[in-house]
Amino acid sequence: MPPFFSRNDAGDLQIEQVDASEIVARYNSPTYVYSRAAIESAYRALSEAFGERAHRICYAVKANSNIGILSVLARLGAGFDIVSYGELARVMAAGGDPGRTVFSGVGKSAAEIQGALEAGIGCLNVESEAELRRIAEIASEMQQKAPISLRVNPDVDARTHPYISTGLKDNKFGIAIDDALPLYEWAHAHPALEVTGIDCHIGSQLTDVSPFRDAAERVMALAHRLAERGITLEHLDLGGGLGIRYTDETPPAAADWIEAIRSVVDADPLARELPIWIEPGRFIAGPAGALLTRVEYLKPGEHKSFAIVDAAMNDLMRPALYGSDMAIVPAGQAPGERQPGTWEIVGPICETGDFLGHERAMDLAEGDLLAVLGAGAYGFSMASNYNTRPRPAEVLVDGGTCHEIRRREPLDSLWALEQLPTTD
């Protein structure tokens, strides 16, 4: 069970001081629920691991972009890592500082670049030569200096799912580290660009710190080549990607991750005074969240038995998209006869791929509540309205208080922007 999730006296799931059954009674199901204390604890664990060393924690907004979550982190002093202008707008709506925000992503449009510069973005992480030239052109037209770093691809195997590996030469992300030097020289000489750092990100859900260390070593080798050419840096952005426990993973602690990075950077006189920036998302939001769902029907079978729940792949895409194995635990028992079995936990979407978990041994009754744990990251942020299903409500628990930070969508809002064609 993640921190700040426990069992009450009846054995039902409790988030901080609030019972899951109370949340569902108030907000219906399925519903995403998050622990504010868990979010703050994860952020502080990273910050404390740095101690007095200069650093910036830029929360990866794509993991969970609810402005209620972003506001909690902004109050803690977090920076932000964004991949669209929409995410920047969310950061600003939540009280975050654009000047402490980095803009990543391989396909920034001209409008997004201009909007970010107008907002006072802290740094544009450049992922191709074409993008670098576009930024220079836009900044020149705006008569501004654009703060940039190159996102270099260090060709380090993160040993994670291929869909979330970002640091190999075959991935679409970043600039090959061996090709970065001439682009840095060009940017350094350009009057509309200000070189501020180096950025890299090698993947997500890493459960070993050695790839982080390998990437840091390659980034430092590039930093030395830049220094030889008179190009000084203001920060090193070493990305994110630290994994969390979903079922039986044993990911490193925050302190282990930071120590792996610092063992390389702080040992180098060139960089030991440079601020280290990191971009965690899943590590902060993932363990803080759960998806609460109700068992609608039990369908025992000769070969497979199905527990059909009211949450579906449109609410939580990770199992269907990545084959992710996420813990599913009882959250509240309904009255009625219980059926022991090994259940496929499936939703009502008309797809065989609509499942939340396979072969889960549980005693269930129709009406039971279940919780999919570790769903705080890439849960709601990847949700859709497939099958014209409203997305779930989102609730933030703070001690004994619940805050509805996103209402469940009214059904008619799903076609509010559509219109019937005009006819003669």
pLDDT confidence bin for 203, thresholds 50/70/90? confident
Give the angle 168-202-215 at the CA atoms, nearest 5°: 95
What pLDDT is recorded for position 174?
87
Residue 281 assigned to a binding site: yes
Does residue 371 carry a pLDDT above 80?
yes
Write down the domain spans for the chain: 5-34+286-407, 65-280
Average pLDDT over residues 255-284: 95
User: Which pLDDT score is estimated for 336?
Assistant: 85
Distances (CA, A) of 20 to 216, 338, 391, 395: 42, 20, 19, 11
Q: How far apart are CA 297 and CA 345, in angstroms?
A: 11
**pLDDT at position 164 over 60:** no
Over range 236-263, report the average pLDDT. Answer: 95
Please state which of the ranges 63-77, 211-225, 394-408 shows the lowest mean pLDDT. 211-225
Residue 82: pLDDT above 70?
A: yes
Q: Give SS3 for 395.
A: strand
> What's the predicted TM-score (pTM) here?
0.94
- Report the alpha-carbon distance of residue 281 to residue 309 in Å, rounded: 28
* List of long-range contacts for 104-110, beta carbons under 8 Å, 24+ apart: 104/151, 104/199, 104/201, 104/279, 106/131, 106/172, 106/173, 108/134, 109/85, 110/134, 110/138
Residue 171, pLDDT > 90, answer no
Interval 325-344: pLDDT, tens:
999 999 999 998 899 999 99
CATH architecture of structural domain 65-280: Alpha-Beta Barrel (3.20)
- Predicted confidence band of residue 155 (pLDDT cuts 50, 70, 90): confident
Provide the pairing of β-strand 31-35 with 393-398. parallel
Given a cut of 50, is residue 321 above it in pLDDT?
A: yes
Closest alpha carbon to 85 in 125, 63, 107, 115: 115
Question: Phi, psi at residue 186, to the nearest 5°?
Answer: -65, -45
Nearest-10 Cα torsion for 275, 280, 285, 286: -150
What pLDDT band is residue 169 in, cutting at 50, 70 and 90?
low
The answer to whether residue 165 scores a pLDDT higher than 50 is: no
Reply yes or no on whether 350 is catalytic. yes
CB-based contact 405:41 (threshold 8 Å): no
For residue 249, say whether it is annotated as part of any ligand binding site. no
Give the mean model confidence (pLDDT) for residues 167-186.
Answer: 81
pLDDT above 50 for 158: yes
Distance CA 289, CA 320 (A): 19
Mean pLDDT of 120-145: 97
- Give residue 173's pLDDT band: very low, low, confident or very high (50, 70, 90): confident
Instruction: Please compute the mean of the pLDDT values over residues 376-388 and round it to a whole number.
Output: 98
Mean pLDDT, to the nearest integer, of 344-358?
96
| Among candidate residues 381, 409, 392, 410, the one with its CA nearest the CA of residue 62 | 381
Measured on CA atoms in the order 147, 156, 219, 250, is the torsion positive or negative? positive
Q: Which of 58, 123, 350, 402 is catalytic?
A: 350
| Residue of higher predicted confidence among 423 and 240 | 240
Beta carbons within 8 Å of 361's beta carbon, 6+ residues apart: 341, 342, 343
How far apart CA 300 and CA 307 sit, in angstroms, is: 8
Q: How far apart are CA 60 and CA 78, in angstroms?
A: 10
Per-residue model confidence (pLDDT) at position 161: 40
Judged against a pLDDT cut of 90, whether residue 364 lies above it is answered with: yes
Q: Which residue has the tokens 């219906």?
A: 28
- State residue 166's pLDDT score: 47
Distance CA 3, CA 202 (A): 27
Is residue 424's pLDDT more than 80? no
Mean pLDDT for the chain overall: 94
Q: How far is CA 327 from CA 43, 50, 362, in A?
A: 23, 31, 12
Q: What are the backbone angles phi and psi of residue 188, rounded to the nearest 5°?
A: -60, -35
Task: Check the annotation: does 241 bind a ligand.
Answer: yes
Query: Are 103 and 124 within 8 A, CB to CB?
Result: yes
For residue 375, pLDDT over 90 is answered with: yes
332 is in an annotated binding site: no
pLDDT of residue 204: 85
**How far is residue 398's CA from residue 102's CA, in Å, rounded to a whole number?**
29
Residue 170: predicted pLDDT: 58
Say which CATH architecture domain 5-34+286-407 belongs to: Beta Barrel (2.40)
pLDDT for residue 167: 42
d(CA 133, CA 45): 39
Question: Annotation-wise, does 386 bind a ligand?
Answer: no
